[in-house]
Amino acid sequence: MRRIQIAALCLALGAGHALAAQDTITIGMVLEPPNLDPTAGAAAAIDEVVYANIFEGLTRFAPDGSIVPGLAASWEVNAEATTYTFHLREGVTFHDGTTMDADDVAFSLNRARAEDSTNAQKALFSGIDRVEVLDPLTVRVTLSAPNGNFPFNMAWGDAVIVAPESVDNAATAPVGTGPFTFGRWVKGDRVEIARNPAYWGAAPALEKATFKFISDPSAAFAALMAGDVDAFPNFPAPETLAQFQADPRFNVIVGSTEGETILAMNNAQPPLDDVRVRAAIAHAINRQDIIDGAMFGYGTPIGTHFAPHNPDYVDLTALSAYDPEQAKALLAEAGQADLNLRLALPPPSYARRGGEIVAAQLRAVGITTEITNLEWAQWLEQVFKGHDFDLTIVSHTEPMDIGIYARPDYYFQYGKPEFVALMDQLTGTTDPAARTDILKQAQTMIAEDYVNGYLFQLAKTGVADARIEGLWANAPTQANDLTAVRWTD
């Protein structure tokens, strides 16, 4: 009955628009990308604009997280998983009219793995030994060690195919092969893209799309309510979702992301180089309180740096169960009865609100924290690059990023040799069962070392006009793929 009422209301509301189906959309985003070149920047916001819209890679992520063909229609791999032969699609052109062929693929891969490459995920390409152009539509990639997961690497936004003619200007005028061409970028406000008439695949339903950047949660709320923004795929204010759910004009899309939200600790610096102190902090944290208090119930508790929807996930939450008494005992054992730590918080509400809750929970076991709220630029400079922090809260939204624990210079500075060996072993393993086994060992190792406080898997809470369909419910990678998005009225 209720459903019928809603449908009737939708019809009534939609009646005014019924004559001409809309073919433009405005998508809201919290952060503005620093540039638009996904092969030269780490910011998630870059991929959220360009991935699958402007740029495409050899392979790509499907909405369910599986790897499907992209610019490579198919590929073959030898038994040792050291040689991949990619067969490119025919008749693919860049937006500037030039043809996309095997030379462009070789150029893109060699550019990304070069010594002076500014690619943010160089590790994706580090296994490549050489790239050979067999004919204009065939590329053979030879790896220095077996890697059964190479097509996954090629699906990342950092591995998209660019053309040597246009890549120099990609930061401000990206030229790709995707279903949309870059229109213009009004700095501080929006990026506009338009349908690519020469697209090789199925033409998208949308004629024009605008990405509008609204960092303030209350402004984001107001923009949706006023209809200035049609959809906000990563809506920053979970506290208002109940309001949208009750409103038939909107559709609330709750899915999962690859975002492991962690209380990162500076493993290289006393007193946090002591595993007992880190364990104490982990036991002092009540995950459910953080999920309820900061995310209004949206989020899944995690016990290690791995996405719970991944089949290889091991539930290790019991290792760091909420136990303030044990936390106090561990602190006493470590001789750190009166601990004072700094807690740096970037802008998202999971960090700001979660940080206040974490601070209160740590205070309950005798750890004093001094909270500093940082803007993203300051956070990147001071915490991520400068390693000048004790504790911070951040969500790692890259898919399958457990490998960051093998990097000793990564901001939380773990890089235990045993773990590095495990990751090397993983790269060289193609057998799915063996890979699962290694991944489980890796998850357990970082959980037992209490490298970071593992809080929760970030939920993807999106709000969209109820007449829009085709938006991704989950976020297997950072993307706002508009290929299948259309208005239904």
Partner 1 sequence: MMGRAQLIVGGVLSAGFVLAAALSLVWVPHDVAALNIAERLRPPGGAYLLGTDQFGRDLVSMLMVGARSSIAVALVAVGIGMGVGVPLGLLAAAHRGGLLDEIVMRANDLIFAFPALVIAILITAVFGPSALNAILAIGIFNIPVFARVTRGGALSLWTLDYILAARVAGKGAARISVEHILPNIANLLIVQGTIQFSLGILAEAGLSYLGLGAQPPTPSWGRMLAEAQTMIYTAPRLAILPGLAIVLMVLGLNLMGDGLRDALDPRLRRVAR
Binding partner 1 by CB under 8 A: which of 23, 165, 274, 292? 292
**Nearer to partner 1 by C-beta: 134 or 242?**
242
Applying CB under 8 A, the span of 12-20, 93-101, 370-378, 427-435 interacting with partner 1 comes to 370-378
Question: Which residue in 242, 321, 332, 337 binds partner 1 (CB under 8 A)?
Answer: 242
Tell me whether residue 154 or residue 343 sits nearer to partner 1 (CB atom).
343
Tokens found for residue 208: 């024009």
459 interacts with partner 1 by CB under 8 A: no
Residue 371 lies near partner 1 (rule: CB under 8 A): yes
For β-strands 72-77 and 391-396, DSSP reports them as unpaired
Burial class from Cβ neighbours inside 10 Å (0-12, 13-18, 19+) for residue 79 reads: exposed
- Point out which span in 2-10, 42-50, 306-314, 368-376 binds partner 1 (CB under 8 A): 368-376
Q: Rounded distance, CA 153 to CA 56, Å?
A: 13
Task: Classify residue 337 by burial, with Cβ atoms within 10 Å: 0-12, 13-18, 19+.
Answer: exposed
Cis peptide before 271 (omega within 30 of 0): yes
Q: Which of 164, 405, 117 is nearest to 128 (CA)?
A: 117
Provide the mask over 157-196, with x wherever binding to partner 1 is found by CB under 8 A and - wherever it is not. Answer: ----------------------------------------
Q: Which stretch binds partner 1 (CB under 8 A): 30-38, 94-102, 135-143, 367-375?
A: 367-375
Examine residue 301 and tell whether it contacts partner 1 (CB under 8 A). Answer: no
Give the total of residues touching partner 1 (CB under 8 A): 26
Cα distance between residue 355 and residue 264, in whole Å: 12
Residue 228 as a binder of partner 1 (CB under 8 A): the answer is no
| Distance (Å, whole) CA 437 – CA 189 | 47
Could you tell me which stretch among 94-102, 175-183, 235-243, 322-330 binds partner 1 (CB under 8 A)? 235-243
Binding mask 413-442 for partner 1 (x = CB under 8 A): ------------------------------
Please, are residues 224 and 250 in contact by the beta-carbon 8 Å criterion?
yes
C-beta closer to partner 1: residue 189 or 370: 370
462: nearest Cα among 16, 48, 47? 48
Give the range of 8-16, 189-197, 358-366, 465-473 binding partner 1 by CB under 8 A.
358-366
The single residue listed with the structure tokens 């190479």 is 150
Give the shortest CB-369-to-partner 1 separation in angstroms: 9
Regarding 368 and contact with partner 1 (CB under 8 A), the answer is no
- Asked if 381 is part of the footprint of partner 1 (rule: CB under 8 A), the reply reads no
* Contact call for residue 240 and partner 1 (CB under 8 A): yes
Pick the stretch among 164-172, 303-311, 356-364, 441-449 that binds partner 1 (CB under 8 A). 356-364
Whichever of 75 and 296 has its CB closer to partner 1, that residue is 296
Q: Which residues 6+ apart lie within 8 Å of 486 measured at CB?
A: 205, 206, 468, 469, 470
Nearer to partner 1, 119 or 361 (CB): 361
Question: Which residue from 8, 198, 364, 421 is in contact with partner 1, where contact means CB under 8 A?
Answer: 364
Phi, psi values for residue 341, rounded to 5°: -125, 155
Segment interacting with partner 1 (CB under 8 A) among 333-341, 363-371, 401-409, 478-486: 363-371
**In this chain, which stretch among 191-199, 240-248, 265-273, 330-338 interacts with partner 1, using CB under 8 A?**
240-248
Q: Which one-letter amino acid corresponds to residue 250?
A: F
CA triplet 340, 343, 347: central angle to 5 degrees?
165
Q: Interface residues for partner 1 in 72-101 (CB under 8 A)? A: none
Judged by beta carbon, residue 296 or residue 405, the one nearer partner 1 is 296
Judged by CB under 8 A, the residue of 360, 377, 421, 473 near partner 1 is 360
The burial class, CB within 10 Å (0-12 / 13-18 / 19+), for 335 is: exposed
The answer to the question of residue 357 lying near partner 1 (CB under 8 A) is yes
354 near partner 1 (CB under 8 A): no
| 344 scored as a contact of partner 1 (CB under 8 A) | no
Residue of 103, 192, 274, 289 that binds partner 1 (CB under 8 A): 289
Of the ranges 53-61, 78-86, 366-374, 406-414, which one interacts with partner 1 (CB under 8 A)?
Answer: 366-374
Chain residues binding partner 1 by CB under 8 A are 217-218, 221, 237, 239-240, 242-243, 288-289, 292-293, 352-353, 355-357, 359-361, 363-364, 370-373
